[in-house]
Structures are given as structure tokens and as C-alpha cells.
Amino acid sequence: MIPVKGCKGQKVAVLGLGRSGLSAARSLLAGGADVLCWDDNPAAREAAEAEGFDCVELRRSGDFEGVASLIVSPGIPHLYPAPNPVVRAALEAGVPVDNDIGLFFRSFADSTWHHFETLPRVVAVTGSNGKSTTAALIHHILTEAGRPSQLAGNIGRGVLDIDPAENGSVVVLELSSYQTELARSLTPDVAVFTNLSPDHLDRHGGMGGYFAAKRRLFSEGGPDRAVIGIDEPEGVFLAGQLSEGAADDRVIRVSVAQKLSGPGWQVFARKGFLSEYRKGRQAGSIDLRPIKGLPGAHNHQNACSAYAACRSLGLAPRVIEDAMHSFPGLPHRSQIVAEAGGVTFVNDSKATNVDAAVKALSAFKKIRWICGGLEKDGGLSALNDAAGGVVKAYVIGREAAGFAMQLDVAAEVCTTMAKAVERAMAEMQEGETVLLAPAAASFDQYDNFEQRGDDFLREVQARL
């Protein structure tokens, strides 16, 4: 646990008592704060009260008299589409609003660091797609290289639940836009921006607000090194804002769409080969094609970002390459779950938006595609441009018929996962891939994308 600093004797309120909220409450208590808690869910309040926390509803600005700050869990809106009433009351009372990420960055360092030969580092990864794989890959590479590493944030452990730092250790954080938009302190040593595509637009008031939430990771604290994917205009803009000139190697530009050149520091992948250039000369290369845990161009982008982050931490190219070969990949992210009769079954349930599904479709050929769910803003037109390898689509979800009508490929309305898997397996042929890449949220039928991916796996295994 990381006890929160600067709160001793203060009254601090915590809104939202899920994993991050309860973790924040415990760390605040360990730091000497007087903690008040609230969650609209009675079961969550009961769990907090069972640990000895006081639960108090705070809906009027007068309720915040004497409260030093409000700590908000990531899923709770503070501005768009409408602020939560408790957040609004805190802001009207002039009470600062923060989250567990802000508490972590202000509390992680302590006096023991003076005795370390090598200071601990924090690597923070954000972006629309690939941030989980990128963060997990960085952690894996560091661990394989013998560097003490902890994985936390939006993946792994809660950020305040990690162990105190040790000599030369690294904390790798995956941070969503919900986490970066509100944290009052954001000071990573290395910050990574994978890419940007439309997502969570209602929460951020549009694409500009979404990008602004991501950008805060780089603008608030000024990381020593910034790894920036520049295959979208926002990445190009961000890299330009952070750089003092073409030769400024504090910014490492990453691409899987183009060969990069110039006097700066670049990492790019073309036709399955990763290349690192620095000061106009090649400094490293990796053949990514035989690495089973990183299939497809989207995973090659993740590999480039992770490679750049690890190089900025001083790891040698060959050490990174060796570690990549043992990376197993993450569940629900281009995960090969079975192979039978010359057919490969791939679970990419994490492809919850159109851009992620496009990248999954681009990674395989002769696809029997299971898709559908709770459609997000922006429509599905981009899917049709990437569906050249699709033999047939099998559409699930409550609105499966409407989803199927927007596709320019042969499509069968299945509604349920069981029927979709049954029909795909009845029609599959040798050399094909049965791919779950929904291009939609899961909440119409499942609690989360993990449940959806697990359901796919169960249905496949039941028929093999």
C-alpha cells in the first residue's frame, strides 16, 4: 500500500466504492486522514462500512463544510454528459476534486529513496487502443530483464495497492482518459501515447475533450521522455508541442504507417519489421512476425511503443527482443484460444470500438467474424473498408439486425454468442480464422468485455 501524503488530520471524502475507491479510502486512512465515503449502491456502502468507514451522503454544497478534498472514482462523471450531484456540490463549495491517480503521484516518493543507487521510475501509458497490451508488454520486458516492476492502474493492481518502491524499480501504469482527465498530479518519468480514435465521446463532450483528457498526461508534469504514436493528427500535434525541434530526443515518435526519418529518435514498423533510428542512424531492429503474442499491425504498434519506452529506460535492443518472444499476450486482445482442423479461433473481445475492430480485421485473412453489441457513436462505415478478408459476419447483440444492415459483407443475424459460434463453426473451412472482434460495447448482454470473451471461449471449447 502507498499511504497518501499531505492529508494527516484532514477530512477527505471518497465518492465511488469500487476497487479504486476503496483502495483510495484505505490509503487515505493510512496517511492519517478522516475519511468519509459514499456510493449510490447500498451493497458498496455495506462493504465499506464493514471495513469501518463512515458513509455519508454529500449532495449539497453545505455538506462539504470542513472537507479538504473529494476523491472520485473513474466511472463517475464530473462534467459531461452531466456532473454527478456529489461532484457538483463539492465544486460549488470550492472543494478540490481529485482521484486515486493524483493521490499516487503526490505520495509515491518517500525519504527512503535517498538511499537508492538508482531512483525508481514511473512509466504511464494512455491512448485509445493498445494501452493494456503496451503496458503489460513493458512490464513483461522489464521483468524478463531482471528489473523490479509492478503493473497497476487500469490493469493489474490498484495504483495505491502496489508495494513501496525499491532500488531501481519501475511502476508501469495503464491510464484511461477517465483517470488522466481529473488527476491533479501527473508526473510520470516516461509517458506513452499509443493512438487516438473516437471513444467515450459523451463523457468528454466530443473528440476535442477526449484528446484534451489524454494530453494532460504530457502537459501537467512534463515527463522526461514522451513516446508518441504519430499515425493520427492528434499524435503529430502532441509530438510537435512537446518537442523543441527535430533533433529533440526527449520525444520518441512511433509509427506503423510510415518510415520515419530525421535527426530525432524514431521507432517504426513496416511489413513486420521494427526499426529504431536515432540521430539519423539505425540503432536497433526486430523481426516481429514470429512473435505469437503480438499478431497484426496493431500489435506491432504496441511493440514499437513498448520498445521505445524500454529503450528510454536503458534496456538493450537484444534484451527487449528476447523478452518479446516470451510475451503470452493478454486475454481478450487478439488472443488465440484454440486451433483445430486448420482453423484458428481468436478472442478480441476488447475490440469495443470500430478502430480496434478494424485493426483486428487487418491482422487476419479469411475471417468468419463475430461482431455486434452496444453500438458507439460514429457509425460503422470504417469497418467496411477493412472487411475485405471477411468471408461472413455473424452478428450478436440486442440490436443485431440494425448492426448487420450497416455491413457490406454477407451477414447473419445470430443475436446470441452461442448461435454465432455454432453457425461460424458449422460453415468454417480449413485456413480460416473465427474472430470475435465486436466493434461495440458489451453492456447490452454482458457486464463487461471480459464476460463476453469468456462466453466466446466456452462456446468454442464446447464444440471442439
67 close to 126: Cβ distance less than 8 angstroms: no
pLDDT band of 175, cuts 50, 70, 90: very high
- 261 annotated binding-site participant: no
Over the stretch 234-288, which tens digit does the pLDDT of each residue have?
999 999 999 999 999 999 999 999 999 999 999 999 999 999 999 999 999 999 9
- 442 annotated binding-site participant: no
**Considering the domain boundaries, does residue 4 fall inside one?**
no
CA distance 391 to 456: 19
- 128 annotated binding-site participant: yes
pLDDT, position 38:
96
Q: Are residues 320 and 339 in the same domain?
A: no
**Considering the domain boundaries, does residue 3 fall inside one?**
no
Overall size of the chain counted in residues = 464
Q: Are residues 170 and 88 in the same domain?
A: no
The β-bridge partners of 396 are 415
Over the stretch 218-244, which tens digit does the pLDDT of each residue have?
998 889 999 999 999 999 999 999 999
Considering 325, 358, 390, which residue would you say is the last residue of a domain?
Answer: 325
Q: Are residues 174 and 251 in the same domain?
A: yes
What is the tally of structural domains in the chain?
A: 3
Phi, psi of 38 (to 5 degrees): -155, 145
Residues 263, 268, 271, CA angle at the centre, nearest 5°?
135
Q: Are residues 370 and 319 in the same domain?
A: no
Q: Are residues 189 and 300 in the same domain?
A: yes
Q: Which residues span the domain enclosing 420?
A: 335-463
Q: Give me the percent of the chain exceeding a pLDDT of 70.
A: 100
Considering 45, 65, 98, which residue would you say is the last residue of a domain?
Answer: 98
pLDDT, position 201:
85
Q: Are residues 55 and 142 in the same domain?
A: no
Give the CATH number, domain containing residue 289: 3.40.1190.10
Q: Are residues 90 and 112 in the same domain?
A: no
Sequence letter at residue 308: A
214 close to 205: Cβ distance less than 8 angstroms: no
Considering 273, 307, 325, which residue would you say is the last residue of a domain?
Answer: 325
**Considering the domain boundaries, does residue 5 fall inside one?**
no
Q: Are residues 238 and 372 in the same domain?
A: no
* Runs of H (alpha helix) within 35-170: 42-50, 85-92, 100-107, 131-144
Mean local confidence (pLDDT), 297-318: 96
CA distance 41 to 297: 42
- 362 annotated binding-site participant: no
Any residues with CB less than 8 A from the CB of 376 and at least 6 apart, and which? 198, 199, 352, 353, 354, 440, 441
b/e 295-310 (16+ beta carbons within 10 angstroms → b): bbbbbbbbbbbbbbbb
- 130 annotated binding-site participant: yes
The β-bridge partners of 71 are 14, 98
Q: Are residues 112 and 258 in the same domain?
A: yes
Give the CATH number, domain containing residue 410: 3.90.190.20
**Considering the domain boundaries, does residue 2 fall inside one?**
no
Query: What is the pTM (predicted TM-score) of this model?
Result: 0.87
**Considering the domain boundaries, does residue 279 fall inside one?**
yes
Q: Are residues 243 and 382 in the same domain?
A: no
Over the stretch 346-402, which tens digit does the pLDDT of each residue have?
999 999 989 889 989 988 989 999 999 998 877 788 898 889 999 999 999 999 999
Sequence letter at residue 24: A
Residue 18 has pLDDT above 80, yes or no: yes
The strand pair at 343-347 and 335-340 is best described as antiparallel
**Considering the domain boundaries, does residue 1 fall inside one?**
no
Q: Are residues 348 and 265 in the same domain?
A: no
Q: Are residues 136 and 63 in the same domain?
A: no
